[in-house]
Chains A and B, each alone.
Chain A
Amino acid sequence: MTLYLPIAEMSVSVIVYLALGVSIGFLSGLFGVGGAFLLTPLLTFLGIPSAVAVATSASHVVASSVSGAVAHYRRGNVDIKMGLVMLGGSLAGTYLGVSAVKILRVAGYFELTVSLMYVIFLGVVGTIILVEGINASRQVHAGRGTATRKSGQHGWLEGLPFKMRFPRSKLYMSAVPPVIIGMFIGCMSAIMGIGGGFVLIPAMIYLLRMPTGLVVGTSLFQIVFAAVVATVLHAVENKTVDIVLALILIVGGVIGAQFGSIVGTKLRGEHLRVLLGAVVLLVAARMAFELVLPPDDVFSLATVAGAS
């Protein structure tokens, strides 16, 4: 069965994209990540113009993170004040990112920028997750517990202005770091079409030193709103959101996510992290190869105003 996509302007097999949605959903349910970092490259690989892939993935992030965010909110695992402060930065960053996409598409560097950012971020984050996962599983085998975090220590961050109290996280700190982190993530998500949880979570743990129990909920809370804004901005600024493609992927994704989370509960946390790190690194490696290997054709076409 095939469907004609109104924005991508191409006829695609529904089964293929449904299967893609299910697999991405499975992984996101398994690892507790949005999975858009896998979705965007796979969509471009299947021939969807990369600007459409990025914008449509943003809407996929909304669907895949909203249920998690609601679940965490119900359990009281969301520091709303911190989330809102980060969201403020994130919205500014998203706007910057969407504008950057527009400029980069005109200049012809959009695909390159996306690929480079994927290689760098996924490479670094994948390595961190993998190494940590391996260390953690070693420690578990050795019978030691995971290291406890030092609370209330921020070092150089202490000197920054605009101090605020975050009662839920039991933190008294400057609003500058969360705003900057939010801005950075927002900009990155808009360009890469991802939620950014895999960068946001480590940043919240290691830079903001938030309690681990609140990190996932707060990041999901922030990501949902940022992705909503990114989707609308992409629709307005670039006109590249394909609603039909989004629906196919979302339907597959929500089904896959349920199976993923069932399997996820049966695996150990450390093993999951090693697996996730490996998957992230694989994607980064694939994109790096694409940049380095000679392309099939050194020439490419782009329409001046719109879809590349």
Chain B
Amino acid sequence: MRRLICAAIVLVVALAGQALAETAQEGIEADASTRQVAITSSFTGTEILVFGAVQNSVQPSPEAGTYDVIVVVEGMPAPIVVRKKSRVGGIWINTRSMRFASVPSYYAIASTRPVDEIADKAVLDAHAIGFDHVRMVPIAHSRTEATDPAELKSFKEALIRLKENERVYIKSDFGVSFIGRSLFRATIALPPNVPVGPLTAHVYLFKEGQMLGEYDSRVMLQREGVERYIHETAMSRPFLYGLVTVLLAAGSGLAAAFAFRKPA
């Protein structure tokens, strides 16, 4: 009898566990509205829509807040130098600098609520989610470069602040909204000065601080038409490009002189 009860309990627990596991299999599917953004001579910035759905959502309503979604759109990593001015003999001169081996050239983050409330530091660090967790690797180069941790922190903060001022680092704490039990969306702004190159969109799904899934998508950002032609010429055939510029300049100068020539 006892053995039977034990067996029954084990069976019930196992069944319940299985049922729980079935309902808990939540996943994420997402995509960006545009896969290709063309930078033409009339480019003045644009917006991309990142949308997706939570699979097997148990969320009773869009406002319930069962899930947290974080959308991160990142540009290509690039090396960067942060310089700091100080007063030397009455004038302001760059005296200290900090070189970072690779920093995202563009970083936009949107979430259902502030990221620090969604997950703990270790998770955010691991996935480079949020301005404070973006990977920035400093490299020591010369003796004028900062090494002290407090100074390093001030340089990192300055880097983020300056990138935010340039509008290439964008944070929107409540930028992701659920429009159904499972459907969510976020708009990400691409400013006119967005660095040209491929963008990666990461969409993360969280529930009670646990990451349930991640979905990645690529957005191509490239020059098109005349913009592309001019830029390619300037980069790959600089001599020809310089010559054409000079000819255009000299030509217009002479043409104007001819057109406006005073009747002698």
Interface positions of A (Cβ within 8 A of B): 2-4, 6-7, 9-11, 59-60, 62-68, 70-71, 108-109, 112, 116, 224, 228, 231-236, 239, 241, 243-244, 246-247, 250-251, 254-255, 257-258, 291-295, 297-305
Contact = CB atoms under 8 A, between A and B. Distances in A.
A282 B213 CA distance: 61
A234 B243 CA distance: 11
B81 A302 contact: yes
A295 to B, nearest CB: 6
Contact of B230 (A116, A244, A254, A305): A244
Interface in B24-40: 39-40
Contacts of B84: 298-300
Interface stretch (B60-68, B88-96, B116-124): B88-96
Interface string B21-57: 0000000000000000001111111000000000000
Contact of A63 (B44, B223, B243, B252): B252
Interface string B87-124: 10011111001010000000000000000000000000
Given A250-B252, A299-B162, A258 B246 contact: no
A233 B242 contact: yes
Contact of A304 (B42, B80, B158): B80
Contacts of A246: 245, 248-249
Interface stretch (B2-10, B11-19, B126-134, B231-239): B231-239
A246 B82 CA distance: 29
8 contacts: A4-B40, A9-B195, A11-B44, A59-B249, A250-B253, A251-B252, A254-B256, A298-B84
B99 A62 contact: no
A11 to B, nearest CB: 4
For the complex of A and B, the 5 pairs showing the least CB-CB separation, nearest first, are A235-B242, A67-B257, A254-B256, A299-B158, A232-B242
Contact of B249 (A63, A255, A301): A63
B184 interface: no
Interface in B151-171: 155, 158-159, 161-163, 165-166
B85 A292 contact: no
Contacts of A116: 91
A85 to B, nearest CB: 22
B140 interface: no
B227 A4 contact: yes
A298 B82 CA distance: 10
B192 interface: yes
Contacts of B79: 303-305
A258 B84 CA distance: 44
Contacts of A64: 253
Contact of B227 (A6, A65, A236, A250): A6
Contacts of B257: 66-68, 70-71, 254
Q: Which of A254, A299, A303, A305 neighbours the largest number of chain B CB atoms within 10 Å of its CB?
A: A299
A250 B40 contact: no
B77 to A, nearest CB: 12
B86 interface: yes
B220 interface: no
A300 B161 CA distance: 10
